[in-house]
Amino acid sequence: MKLYLPRSHKTENLGSVPVKAPDQPQQPIPGTVLVVEDEPIVRMVIVEALREHGATVLEAEDGNEASTILNSPVAIDLLVTDVGLPGITGQRVAEIARSLRPDLKVMFLTGYTCNAVLDKELLAPHTHDF
């Protein structure tokens, strides 16, 4: 993963920046989330963050494993999938999920620009990028 930030040429010391606590405590994430990510470290970070916020998390390292879980009777409230999975792509995993569970919400993740990897015509209606 690479993170690009603008360079500052200022030389003054900005000191420490106070961190403001949230006005309201964060709400726990209810339900079960299926996380599909082929990079183990990225998957671990996502899973840990979701669990820290109260979600029950199922993990899959590829589309085949995700398909097996989706075909099972286990309840799933949200699918979080990497777009660029080897084999069965994240878009195909979402198609499978929506055919089996039409009301399932899907969140796509990618390390690339949205336009480079997401074919808007292949995505379901009401899909938005942020």
Is there a domain that residue 60 lies in?
yes
Is there a domain that residue 21 lies in?
no
Give 121's pLDDT tier (boundaries 50, 70, 90).
Answer: very low
Structural domain span for residue 46: 32-117
User: Model confidence over 67-104: pLDDT tens digits?
Assistant: 999 999 999 999 999 988 999 999 999 999 999 999 99
Amino acid identity, position 4: Y
Phi, psi of 36 (to 5 degrees): -120, 110
pTM above 0.75, yes or no: no
Q: In which element (H, E) is residue 57 found?
A: strand 56-60
Is there a domain that residue 98 lies in?
yes
Question: Could you give the number of structural domains in the chain?
Answer: 1
Is there a domain that residue 25 lies in?
no
Q: What is the pLDDT of residue 115?
A: 54
- In the structure encoding, which two tokens stand for residue 75, read together? 């309840």
**Structural Rg of the chain based on CA atoms:** 18
Is there a domain that residue 44 lies in?
yes
Is there a domain that residue 77 lies in?
yes
The CATH number linked to 74 is 3.40.50.2300
Is there a domain that residue 90 lies in?
yes
